Structure 1
Amino acid sequence: MALKRMALMSLLGWPLATVAQSSVTLYGVIDANVEYVNHAGVVPTAANGFNPGPANDAYRLTSGGLSGSRWGLRGNEDLGGGIKALFVLESGFGIDNGLSQQSGRLFGRQAYVGVQSSRLGMVSLGRQYTSMFEALANFSPTAYATQYEPVVMQSGPNYRADNTVKYTGKFGGLTALAHWSFGVGVALPASVGFPIPIGGNGEVPGQFRRDTAYGGALAYTFGPFAATAGYDQWNPTIGTGTGTIKKAAVGASYAFGPAKIMGGYRWGQNRNAADALIQRDDFYWVGANYQVTPALALTLEYNYDDLKNLYGNTSVANPWQISFVADYSLSKRTDVYVTTAYAKNAGLMLDSLATVFANSLSLGNSYVLGNGQSNMFGVALGIRHKF
């Protein structure tokens, strides 16, 4: 019987060693909630005369509260000698409408192939997270919860990048990351205060710097203490030239009993194609996780951005946000949650001109302040299932 099975696999063209040493896993998350938001306008673009319009209450079904809804495939093949080949294909979608997210990409969350050595680390090629974004994930109290986390303010709209070569190495408690993107693939439309599109696909012959990006990060864990530091630079198309968007960040955390506290600081500086300063800010965050019972977890997070210069304006009101999450596990795979946030001097997720409204553009749900408003409140009740 065994010989017949081997003969059949041979006829079908299946390598016998691969059957024994390879694996492919289907996985995913489905997350949806019912949300209320006040003081919401629309994203100001050229199509509406850069006018966010009147402020309104919004009641909506939203995809992705604590996690972006997704499905994916990941696999690996043991090549021997502590080396393996691997791949990840991960597709983000809206459970509210079934549409692909990340600008309609089929595998917009991640899509890469690589090789990994147990001693030397991993090299991967494709669409991936930036080094700094990945390093900060364990130092953000809500763990990049989709709904209200000001991730664009923290890491920039280029936290996912196309055309990327990335290195990841883990050596005991130390993790090292570095990446280079030949063309980030982020394009933001003209907006109020800065009526020139930013970004593009890059990889244009004769324009090597156009839309490239690079960065690196280190993270270290020692018992209950952990710390990280990272740098990220994006050189987006601005008009007929390229600008420079730089960010550097540090973070730390400490766990004790059922609680964990964490916080960080991010320095930022943006310059246009003429090397003139268009944005300079210092972003801070602090928060805590508390496991009340094995099933109930609470999270509190505070974010503050010190905007020193925004397109020449040096007296911008500094945006801040406080958010709270209560998450209750019904099983290992299913949980229900309440998430809420209040933002001042910006919309939720701190969406504003300082982020080029990238959150609202990406999610398809506006967190832009309507005319005459300076604060926004949101609350959502949802359910999440992992498979």
Structure 2
Amino acid sequence: MKLRSMAAAVLFAISGGAFAQSTVTLYGVVDANLEYVNHVGAVPTGLNQFNRGPSHAVYRLDSGGLSLSRWGLRGTEDLGGGLKSLFVLESGFALDTGTSQQSGRLFGRQAFVGVQQAGIGQLTLGRQYTSMFEALANFSPTAYATQYEPLVLQSGANFREDNTVKYTGQFGPVTALAHWSFGTGLALPATAAVATPIGGNGEVAGQFRRDTAYGAAATYGAGPFGVALGYDQWNPTIGTGSGAFKKATIAASYSDGPAKIMGGYRWGQNKNAADVLIQRDDFYWIGANYQATPAIGLTLEYNYDNVKNQFGDTHVANPWQIAFMATYAFSKRTDVYVTTAYAKNAGLMLESVGTGFATSFSLDNSYALPNGQNSMLGVAVGLRHKF
């Protein structure tokens, strides 16, 4: 009897130790705000005969100002010898309506599984962020705040991709990233200047290049300085072939006490299936964060896009935007904020035909300029809670 009791105790200790090496965490963000936007028109699609319509002011309740609302699960298991398995499942939803975002996907923000080996890096498979998007995360003054951040213009509408294999390696102050997508799963409908939809599900037998994408990036951060380099290419379905949407970027940052300044440059070139230029532009951004007190944070950001060619037009009015954000933290989990932006020659977030109006489609809120207007102003006041 005593021997059986000792054996049971040993087995319990072993199983308890193994269990302790596995972790699963539930996390999320809920974020909502009240927003006012002037000069709002309709996204020009076939449903409205590609007509932007008249100008309207909009008052609305939005989901996501500092962060898109989400919930997720992430976990790791220690396999021994420095090897770990890991997974992330992250679902995006609209807090104002309770509906799923990312085209109704259950885990539309992220969904991947992988392995990690100490000193070598990690390999992950599933729906993931592109290498360039991840590399620039710490070089965006607003930290990818969803309200008024021109993310799609900066990193491309394909900043999340289905069917992706991704490598991430951490080597001291250097992080290296590379990815390949067998089919991004991104499809944008036809808009005013684009006669056919762009993108699709990919992974079509006999059409290996269709809707594939790939990229690589590297970041360095030591002391007050940081720098990032990246390249991204998406080969979306256009008609019966596939185009080539290419982007390359360099960014830098400098921190000094409560202040941080950062900026960057992104080169872009999009071509259709016949290798004809659709768009060529140079995008710039600069901004700063200032932690005025432990509770109060301030952010200022300026964006400018030098459009050299857009659907054959070499005289496009260059869009620019200035944005300001202030936050007050009640605690580590709960904060309130006010955010505002003014955009010229494009909608807020520099939304235009140049971005395929991808942000408006994603958020289900139009930021398209109407007929007869060339500027847009937005102001939002919101509340965010992290768990």
Q: State TM-score, norm by structure 2.
A: 0.97
* 1:289–1:204 Cα change, 3 Å: same
**Alignment partner, residue 35 of structure 1:** 35
Alignment partner of 1:344 is 2:344: yes
Matched letter for residue 220 of structure 2: Y
CA distance in 2, matches of 1:195, 1:311: 11
Q: Structure 1, residues 243-284: CA drift from partner, whole Å, max 9, x if none?
A: 000000000000011100000000000000000111000000
Look up the match of 1:358. Answer: 358
Partners of 1:9 and 1:16 within 8 A in 2: yes
Deviations 1:342-373 (A, max 9, x none): 00000000000000100000000110111111
What secondary structure does 1:79 align onto?
strand
Q: Deviations over 1:300-329 (max 9, x none)?
A: 000000000001111100000000000100
The question of 1:226 aligning with 2:226 is answered: yes
Could you say what secondary structure the match of 1:85 adopts? strand
Give 1:52 shift.
1.3
- Quote the Cα distance in structure 2 between the aligned partners of 1:242 and 1:358: 19
Q: In the alignment, which residue of structure 1 is the partner of 2:294?
A: 294
Write out aligned runs for 1:218-367 (5 A).
Answer: 218-367=218-367
Give the Cα–Cα distance (whole angstroms) in 2 for the partners of residues 373 and 242 of structure 1.
34
State the secondary structure of the residue aligned to 2:362: helix
- Residue of structure 2 in register with 1:127 after alignment: 127
For 1:1-387, what aligned pairs fall within 5 Å after superposition?
18-387=18-387
Q: Is the 8 A contact 1:288 1:299 kept in 2?
A: yes
Secondary structure of residue in 2 paired with 1:153? helix
State the alpha-carbon separation in 2 of the partners of residues 104 and 38 from structure 1.
29
Contact 1:52 1:371 in 2 (8 A): yes
For the residues of structure 2 that align with 1:26 and 1:331, how far apart are their CA atoms?
19
Residue type of the partner of 2:361? L
Counterpart of 1:95, as a letter, is L
Q: Distance in 1 between matches of 2:235 and 2:322?
A: 31
Cα 1:2–1:254 shift into 2, 3 Å? farther
1:3 Cα deviation after fit: 6.9
Runs of 4+ aligned structure 1 residues displaced above 6 Å come to 1-10
Residue 16 of structure 1 and its aligned partner are, at CA, apart by: 6.0
Instruction: Give 1:117 shift.
Output: 1.0
Q: Distance in 1 between matches of 2:128 and 2:44?
A: 29
Gaps of 5+ in 1: none
Q: Secondary structure at the match of 2:196?
A: coil
What is the CA deviation profile of residues 20-75 of structure 1, one whole-angstrom value per residue up to 9, with x for unaligned ones? 31010000000000000000011110010001111100000000000010000000
Equivalent AA in structure 2 for residue 224 of structure 1: P
TM-score by length of 1: 0.97
Q: In structure 2, what residue type is equivalent to 1:289?
A: N
Query: What is the aligned length?
Result: 383
Give, in whole Å, the separation in 2 of the partners of 1:193 and 1:47: 14
1:230–1:8 distance in 2 versus 1, CA, 3 Å? same
Whether the 8 Å CA contact 1:18–1:77 is kept in 2: the answer is no
Q: Give the counterpart letter for 2:288 in structure 1.
A: A
Distance 2:225 2:154 in 1: 22
Unaligned runs of 5+ in 2: none
CA distance in 1, matches of 2:310, 2:86: 43
SS, match of residue 154 in structure 1: helix
- How many Å separate the matches in 2 of 1:280 and 1:121? 35
Query: Would the alpha carbon gap of residues 341 and 9 (structure 1) be closer, same or farther in structure 2, given more than 3 Å must change?
Result: same
* RMSD of aligned alpha carbons: 1.6
**What is the DSSP-based 3-state SS (H/G/I as helix, E as strand, rest coil) of the residue aligned with 1:323?**
strand
Give the Cα separation in 2 of the matches to 1:75 and 1:193: 44
CA distance in 2 between partners of 1:288 and 1:278 (Å): 33
**What amino acid is aligned across from residue 91 of structure 1 in structure 2?**
S
Q: For residue 149 of structure 1, report the CA deviation from its aligned partner.
A: 0.3
| Corresponding residue SS for 1:332 | coil
**AA at the equivalent of 1:251:** A
Distance 1:336 1:314, change over 3 A: same
CA 1:2–1:341 in 2, change beyond 3 Å: closer, same or farther? farther
Deviates most, 1-10 or 246-255: 1-10
Alignment CA distance shift 1:2-1:145 (3 Å): farther
Equivalent-residue separation in structure 2 for 1:47 and 1:338 (angstroms): 34
- For residues 71-106 of structure 1, give each alpha carbon's deviation from its aligned partner in whole angstroms, at most 9, with x where no partner exists: 000000000111100000000000000000011101
Distance 1:25 1:2 in 2: 33
On the 8 A contact 1:285/1:303 being kept in 2, the answer is yes
